Amino acid sequence: MLVLVINCGSSSVKYQVRDTEGATEDAQVIAKGLIENIGTKIPNHTAALELMAKDLEEPLHGKTIDAIGHRIVHGGDVFSQPVIIDESVIEKIDELSPLAPLHNPAHVQGLKAATATYPGVPQVAVFDTAFHATMPEHVFRYAVPENFYTDYGVRRYGFHGTSHDYVTGIAADFLGIERSEFNAVVAHLGNGASITAIEDGKCLDTSMGYTPLAGLVMGTRSGDIDPSVLTSVLMQDSTMTTERLDTILNKESGLLAIAGNNDMRTVVDAMEAGDERAKLALDMTSYRVAKYIGGYNVAVGGAQALIFTAGIGENSHQFRTLVTDRLGALGIKIDEEANKVRGDHARIISTEDSAIPILVVPTNEEKAIAEATVELVAA
């Protein structure tokens, strides 16, 4: 099946056409691209998708798209599975916009534009939050008044679900463990980063919360902080606004705030050159990851594997070492030779006598979305 995978942001559209029957990753990816400047140089999402369709004419050689899979950030507690798109689904995604004001409105634009550009082609929505729908209530609730939850939907949702789900499946297969009996900790470490406790192959807990700001120290996001910091700053600084605070915590914090740069490669290079700020930033970041790994090991009653994925998790052997060096109490030991070997397949990077294997598993959200799309459309 030829599946067009679309990720619509407010000013950009990232797309990939995949042949789900291709034997290798190279054979599966027929075309990919990015259209930017929607709202400035390109008037709207419909115009962007028309441009995309034009760009696709040559690589498609007259073949037609069989189905479209959309990455949708927020499914709230309405969507716990991928769904076939119809009018009512688009409406519900729109209604969830208060939970993801930057993303869901753009997704709705993209869904409508795709319907106009590819009339009659079945479309599927795959939600970043869906994999986390299995979290039990004592895990997803915050200890705040009930009406925060009932009126505003304040609870833990979790994100990067498509990646956590995909990587969990690959790791269980790789280790020869039935997914339904697989306990693990998955660290998705990219510019945005989250970590998930996997129990019996499903999500038990995850570090992102009501929004993707919670949990780990990230490229530009603070991760967990004491919420009183916000009220305190607002009360002490009369020029401060809630919008400004939101920008600071999402775009000016994390590695960027401490080390002066949000790119892991640059920060690691700076640390190796003796930069104290870079060292502090990496200590803070790796300490937080290790703390979650310890907690989630307890949560799942003992993980059978620790899995690293995404930009930093897959590529930065230095950062993996910084994290795993803090896991001595769990008997988890990294093999420095194996850790430094690069590769684009799942691999083990722990020593023979490590309490559990440490794996690097490349994530592939487009592939996961295409597979979920085919599964629904074929059914």
Catalytic residues: 128
Closer CB to ligand AMP, 310 or 372, in the complex: 310
Among 263, 269, 283, 335, binds ligand AMP (CB under 6 A): 263
Q: How far is the CB of 27 from ligand AMP (least distance, A)?
A: 23
Closer CB to ligand AMP, 133 or 267, in the complex: 267
Q: d(Cα 91, Cα 367) in Å, to the nearest integer? A: 26
Residue 349 lies near ligand AMP (rule: CB under 6 A)? no
The span of 100-108, 167-175, 279-287, 308-316 binding ligand AMP (CB under 6 A) equals: 308-316
DSSP 117-134: HSTT--EEEEETTGGGGG
Closer CB to ligand AMP, 82 or 254, in the complex: 254
Residue 269 lies near ligand AMP (rule: CB under 6 A)? no
Among 219, 223, 254, 357, binds ligand AMP (CB under 6 A): 219
Q: How far is the CB of 286 from ligand AMP (least distance, A)?
A: 13
Closest by CA position to 363, among listed 186, 200, 207, 233:
186
Q: d(Cα 61, Cα 31) in Å, to the nearest integer? A: 11
Residue 158 lies near ligand AMP (rule: CB under 6 A)? no
Q: Where are the alpha helices (DSSP H) in the chain?
A: 25-28, 45-60, 87-95, 104-117, 137-140, 146-152, 161-175, 228-236, 242-251, 254-259, 264-272, 276-299, 310-315, 317-324, 336-340, 365-378
Closest by CA position to 36, among listed 13, 20, 68, 53:
13
Q: d(Cα 210, Cα 135) in Å, to the nearest integer? A: 13
Q: d(Cα 27, Cα 239) in Å, to the nearest integer? A: 55
Q: How far is the CB of 311 from ligand AMP (least distance, A)?
A: 2
Residue 195 lies near ligand AMP (rule: CB under 6 A)? no
φ, ψ for residue 250, nearest 5 deg: -90, -35
Question: Please, which of residues 319-348 interact with ligand AMP by CB under 6 A?
Answer: none
The span of 143-151, 200-208, 307-315, 371-379 binding ligand AMP (CB under 6 A) equals: 307-315
DSSP letter at 190? Answer: S
Closer CB to ligand AMP, 117 or 162, in the complex: 162
DSSP letter at 362? Answer: -
Closest by CA position to 370, among listed 359, 378, 362:
378
Residue 253 lies near ligand AMP (rule: CB under 6 A)? no
- Nearest residue to ligand AMP by CB is 311
Among 11, 134, 191, 321, binds ligand AMP (CB under 6 A): 191
Among 310, 332, 358, 374, binds ligand AMP (CB under 6 A): 310
Distances (CA, A) of 41 to 68, 104, 152, 353: 25, 22, 36, 57
Q: How far is the CB of 277 from ligand AMP (least distance, A)?
A: 16
Residue 55 lies near ligand AMP (rule: CB under 6 A)? no
The span of 47-55, 68-76, 169-177, 306-314 binding ligand AMP (CB under 6 A) equals: 306-314
357 with 375: CB under 8 angstroms? no
Q: How far is the CB of 307 from ligand AMP (least distance, A)?
A: 14
Q: d(Cα 343, Cα 361) in Å, to the nearest integer? A: 10
Binding site for ligand AMP (CB under 6 A): 190-191, 219, 263-265, 310-312, 315-316
